[in-house]
Structure 1
């Protein structure tokens, strides 16, 4: 009940952002559960405009998106760093700001392979930058592009 009261005390724009974020996180989580990552990546590229020109990023908007993703994530079962990174990328790029999802791997002290995803915009980590990022070895992701007939495909 306390959480509902806090939610209702938010400004209308913040409540709307949280609802949109929770919906997007849920859809991304479901898609990652049902489909291969490359397919999800390609589908998200279809709803996200790609910008080629570098523009000044509105840091307040970025912070608000990160806030919404962090607040909404615990309410969506199974949401981890990859779904958070993809949702952040989509929402930031809806505003026309260029981003890149990064995925890195490392080994823990027991030798187990660990992976982590984060988002960068203009060389700065937007979300997912907690901890020692230097220990992660980046994995290259294929870039999603569209051809002139507007059919989408992955370039490998």
Structure 2
């Protein structure tokens, strides 16, 4: 498929989403832009203060956040993950896993849905060290999945 045809197809698809999903994609794009700007302007340690407490993956607070949420909240978490993944390729910058996790976390927080932002690292054939961020909300895989098998979780924000 030619690039112009692909773009036209995506735009037609976007128009058929309906206003609610269009707004969700727009919110995801704005949240990713805000994440990108925050990471470009401020040091990570300052930005990360807004993520919550940094704890070990075995910390009891992680399990508390992972408890089941209602069907409505799980559906919203899935929709937010979809919106972030859908808008990420359209951003005017490379939207990496951290920006996607930050955007989804902010969107979930605005809706009162708890989440856990995970951080991991590992060695791969392609890179001497590979880092990754992923987000879940009570068992719903929101962004950054699947996690590569070589990733070891270092900690998470709750």
Unaligned runs of 5+ in 2: 1-7, 53-63
Which residue number corresponds to residue 22 of structure 1? Answer: 29
Unaligned runs of 5+ in 1: 46-51, 144-156
Return the alpha-carbon distance in structure 1 between the equivalents of residues 10 and 46 of structure 2.
35
Which residue number corresponds to residue 65 of structure 1? Answer: 80
CA-CA distance at 1:139 after TM superposition: 2.3
Alignment of 1:91 with 2:113, yes or no, is no
Which residue number corresponds to residue 130 of structure 2? Answer: 114
Return the alpha-carbon distance in structure 2 between the equivalents of residues 89 and 55 of structure 1.
17
Return the alpha-carbon distance in structure 2 between the equivalents of residues 80 and 13 of structure 1.
25
**Residues 55 and 130 (structure 1), Cα distance of their counterparts in 2 relative to 1, 3 Å cut:** closer
Return the alpha-carbon distance in structure 2 between the equivalents of residues 39 and 79 of structure 1.
20
Return the alpha-carbon distance in structure 1 between the equivalents of residues 95 and 12 of structure 2.
24
Which moved further from structure 2: 63-72 or 2-11? 2-11
CA-CA distance at 1:66 after TM superposition: 0.8
Q: Which has the higher helix share?
A: 2
Which consecutive aligned stretches of 4+ in structure 1 deviate over 4 angstroms post-superposition?
52-55
Which residue number corresponds to residue 2 of structure 1? Answer: 9
Which residue number corresponds to residue 153 of structure 2? Answer: 138
Normalising to structure 2: TM-score of the pair? Answer: 0.73
Is the contact between residue 55 and residue 97 of structure 1 (CA under 8 Å) also seen in structure 2? no
Normalising to structure 1: TM-score of the pair? Answer: 0.74
Per chain length, whose mean CA-contact separation is higher, i.e. which structure has more relative contact order (CA < 8 Å, sep 6+)? 2
Is the contact between residue 117 and residue 128 of structure 1 (CA under 8 Å) also seen in structure 2? yes
How many residues align? The count is 136
Is the contact between residue 81 and residue 117 of structure 1 (CA under 8 Å) also seen in structure 2? yes
Task: Give CA-to-partner distance per residue, 1:105-132, whole Å, 9 cap, x none.
Answer: 0011366000010012235533212143
Alignment of 1:101 with 2:114, yes or no, is no
Return the alpha-carbon distance in structure 2 between the equivalents of residues 78 and 111 of structure 1.
18
